[in-house]
Structure 1
Amino acid sequence: MSYTVYDRAGNKGSCRFSVRVRVRRCSPITPPENGYMKCDSDGDNYGATCDFKCTGGYELQGSAARVCQYGLTWSGTETNCAAMNINVGVRTASGLLDQFYEKRRLLIISAPTAANHYYRFQMTNLQHAQCGLDLRHVTVIELVGIYPAQIGRISHRLIPPGLALQLRLLLQISHNNFNMVMIDKQGMDKERYTYPITSAQIFTTIDTWQGRMDEMVLQQEAGHTCQ
């Protein structure tokens, strides 16, 4: 860069100098295992923010967002994605549901017996849908039978009969017929069915819910899909 100036007497003066700009950068940061991140600007320059999310079945520990600070260190604490540890030993149905708040969506399937035709059809249909459920952060809760001969189950974890009964009462689910309830991450009762539906219908419905569109963008950028 150069400048030339003249005074009223016609004298001339010139100067030239160079400006070198160096971007302040933090050390590289990577997505947590079983998770992904999205950063703005260059991703490691001063002021850049990186947001973290976990894949289905895992919950975030540490900072959900970290900022590259002036001292070239990242704000917050290291981010990890740990497998969810669902406690089925809680005393109340609300205590059970609170564990999923802002973390997982719920698909609650209830039937009077395991031989119920609708129940068997629904569970058979979901057998090959686990990837799609995980991609959408969906946990399936089964409530089968009539109290006290009632079985509740979350994956391989059994829910005590009394807690399963509380869950039905809280959500106003009849034990006499097949029922399915879909709940979003904010604990809102979104959809109810008295008949089975396909996994494709479940996925299409969930993909219209608030917050799901943002998840889809992040998952696509991270390459998380179901083959």
Structure 2
Amino acid sequence: MDFSQLIKGFDVVWQNLDYLAWGNYPDGPISGIALTLLMSLAAIVLATGLGIIAGIGLVVLTSWPRRILVTILAFLQAIPIIMLIFWSYFLVPVLFQIDVPAIFTVIMALALIGAAYIAYAVFAGMIAITDEQWQAAYSLGLKRQQVIVYIILPQAIRMMMPSFINQWISLIKDSSLAYIVGVAEFTFLATQVNNRVIVNPTQIFLFVIAVYFVICWSLNFAASRFIKQYQLS
């Protein structure tokens, strides 16, 4: 295949661009790139919130509550995301007799595993703060919760923001695993298009790579700019 044929092969992408972008919306449920972005955003927000809470827990908890938290985080770090999605979707309805939406399953699986990694990033940032800052805050009459929320945690998050960004990007890429429970995200629709036209798979999946690159690069760029402005302010 020469270069001109490669470029011409992208016609199949342009012809199906609307479908790849948002599926059959508004005549059907939103899917494609739009669904990937929505799931990723929801997972990022949940993972960050849960990760910060768990990271604080690693610092303040002691004895058996801390051991339980460490065990849960270790389990989430050890299990592959695809297995957590699979078992959550197929096993939870059997155990609890409830219907679990596939999209919700994917978001929660991504958020829980992302939170486990963010928790240790927050923990590392918090214990890196010198004891003098803790003692100075206590000498001002602040309670432990106030010291953490207003003094220690903001500094820890600032230091660990690059780790946050890396984890957010991983969550975006891992959202493609939603195919295992039939969620019609971007790669799922790209595979559908490829199976339907049975030609030019190279162009279709090059387009998939390009879209994920643009999404992840944009997030990295925006977050990096925000960090620079935040550090200068």
| TM band (smaller chain) | under 0.3
Greater relative CO (CA pairs within 8 A, separation 6+): 2
* TM-score normalised according to structure 2 size: 0.23
Which has a greater percent of strand?
1
Which has a greater percent of helix?
2
Q: Name which one, 1 or 2, has greater alpha-carbon Rg.
A: 1
* TM-score normalised according to structure 1 size: 0.23
